[in-house]
Amino acid sequence: MEKILITGGAGFIGSHVVRLFVNKYPHYQIYNLDKLTYAGNLENLKDVENKPNYHFIKGDIVDTNFINQLFEKHQFDAVIHLAAESHVDRSIHAPMDFIYTNIVGTANLLNAAKNIWAENMEGHRFYHISTDEVYGSLGNEGVFVETTPYSPHSPYSASKASSDHLVRAYHDTFGMPNVISNCSNNYGPNQFPEKLIPLFINNILHKKPLPVYGKGLNVRDWLYVEDHAKAIDTIFHNGKSGETYNVGGNNEWANIDLIKKLIEIVDEQLGNPQGTSLSLITYVKDRAGHDLRYAIDATKLRTTLGWEPTIKFAEGFYLTVKWYLNNQEWLQHVTSGDYQKYYEEMYANR
Ligand code: NAD
Ligand code: TYD
C-alpha cells in the first residue's frame, strides 16, 4: 500500500496518526484530507508539513462530486477515516452537521473507494475510526466488548453508529476489505478546548469557572492519544478484514476525581498553592442524555494483534498538562480567530 488517504488529519487524533505514519513510513505517500472546521488546525502538523511524503488537501467529505474526483485522480490504495464532527454537546445543539459529515461523508468515501477498487478489492483497506459511545451507557458493572449491541444515545454516537453499520454493510455486500475500531476517550496534546481536559486547563489559566455536568459522577475510560495512534497503526497493518477491534486504556475515572487530579497538576505546574483552583469547580445542569459510564475491554486487540497502551496515566496526564501550559499560544490561536489568518497566509496559493 503506497498511497494512503487519511481523513480528518488536521484534528486531534488525526494529527497524531498523520505524524506517526509520515515519520514511520517514508515510503508511503500520506494524503491528509480535511475541511478545516473549527476543530481542524494545520498548526498541529507544522513539524511534518514539508516532508516529501506528506500532502494536504482541503476539502469536504460531504461533497460527493469532489470526493469521487479525488479518488479518480489519486487512486488511493487505502483509507484511514477519522474526519467527523466529534463533540457530543455540539451534536445536541446542531445535529444535522453530524448527520451530514459522519453518515453522508462516510457513505461518500465508501462509494468512491468501491468505484476505484471494483476490479480488484484485494490488497486495499478501508479503515474506519469509531468510538465506544456507539455501545451506549454502562451501569456500575460490566464492560463493552466487540459484540455488545449498539445503543447510542446522542446524535453524535447515533451518527457514528450509523457510519459503522455502513462500513460493515460495504464489507458484507461488496466484499470491501474494511476494518473498524471503537476507542474510548482520548486525551493528550492538540485536543480542541471544548472537550473536558483542555477546556478545563484553559479555564484554570483564565480563572474561569469549571463547569461540571450534573454531580460529576459519570465515568470515562481515558487513553493517551499517542497510544491510540499506535493502535491505529497496528490495526491498519494487521487487523483482519471485516473485524472490529475495541481500543481502550483500562483506565476509568469519575469526572470529578479526574478534575481534582487535573487541578492538582495544573496548580503545581503554575506554582500556585495546592487547592487554589478548586474554588473554580461549578456544578451545572447535566448534559441531556448524558451516558453514565463507558469502559472498554480491549482483550481482542491485545491477544490477537499484540497492542497494549504504553503510557501510564500519571505520566500521560502530566505530559498533557505540560503541553498545554507550554503551548498557550496554540490555545490562544484556536480560541480566537487567529488560526484562519495563519491558514490564509500559509495556504492561499496552494
Ligand atoms: P476532531 O474534532 O478533533 O477532528 C475532526 C477533524 O475532522 C477536524 O480536523 C475537522 O476539520 C475534520 N472534519 C470535520 N468535518 C469534516 C468534513 N465534512 N470533511 C472533511 N474533514 C472534516 O476529532 P478527534 O477527536 O480527533 O476524533 C477523530 C475521530 O476519532 C472521529 O471519527 C471520532 O469519532 C473518533 N474518536 C474520537 C475519540 C476522542 O476521544 N476524541 C474517541 C474515540 C473515537
Ligand atoms: P467530553 O470531553 O465532551 O467527552 P465525551 O462526552 O465524548 O465523553 O466529556 C467528558 C466527560 O466530561 C463527560 O462525562 C461530560 C463531562 N463534561 C463536563 O462535566 N463538563 C464539561 O464542560 C465538558 C465539556 C464535559
Ordered by where they begin, the domains of the chain are 3-186+223-250+292-311 (3.40.50.720)
Angle formed at CA 184 by CA 254 and CA 82, multiple of 5 degrees:
140
User: Any catalytic annotation for residue 132?
Assistant: yes
Which residue, by CA, sits nearest to atom 12 of ligand 2?
196
Cα separation, 260 vs 234, in Å, equals 34
| Residues lining ligand 2, Cβ inside 6 A | 88, 185, 195-196, 199, 211-213, 218, 220, 255, 287
Please answer whether residues 78 and 4 qualify as being in contact, where contact means their C-beta atoms are separated by less than 8 angstroms: yes
Q: How far is CA 223 from CA 17, 97, 168, 307, in A?
A: 14, 26, 25, 13
Cα separation, 297 vs 155, in Å, equals 24
pLDDT at 337: 72
pLDDT at 1: 63
- Residue 79 near ligand 1, beta carbon < 6 Å: no
**333 Cβ neighbours under 8 A, 6+ residues apart:** 41, 43, 339, 342
Residue type, position 300, single letter: K
Please answer whether residues 263 and 278 qualify as being in contact, where contact means their C-beta atoms are separated by less than 8 angstroms: yes
Please answer whether residues 200 and 262 qualify as being in contact, where contact means their C-beta atoms are separated by less than 8 angstroms: yes
Site to probe by mutation for ligand 1, drawn from 6, 37, 106, 154 as the one with most ligand atoms within 8 Å of Cβ, is 37
Site to probe by mutation for ligand 2, drawn from 220, 223, 320 as the one with most ligand atoms within 8 Å of Cβ, is 220
φ, ψ (nearest 5 deg) of residue 47: -75, -15
User: Any catalytic annotation for residue 286?
Assistant: no
Ligand 2 center to 217 CA (angstroms): 11
Which residue, by CA, sits nearest to atom 20 of ligand 2?
212
pLDDT at 350: 53
- Residue 37 near ligand 1, beta carbon < 6 Å: yes
Which is catalytic among the residues 34, 60, 85, 133? 133
Cα separation, 16 vs 193, in Å, equals 17
Q: Which runs of consecutive H residues, i.e. helices, occur in 75-154?
A: 88-93, 95-98, 106-117
Cα separation, 157 vs 134, in Å, equals 5
Q: Which residues of the chain have pLDDT under 50?
A: 339, 342
Ligand 2 center to 195 CA (angstroms): 6
Closest CA to 126 of 137, 112, 138, 136: 112
Closest CA to 5 of 105, 104, 126: 126
- Which tens digits make up the pLDDT trace of 65-115? 999 999 999 999 999 999 999 999 999 989 999 999 999 999 999 999 999
Which is catalytic among the residues 31, 156, 245, 324? 156
Please answer whether residues 134 and 92 qualify as being in contact, where contact means their C-beta atoms are separated by less than 8 angstroms: no
User: Any catalytic annotation for residue 133?
Assistant: yes
**Atom nearest to 89 CA in ligand 2:** 3
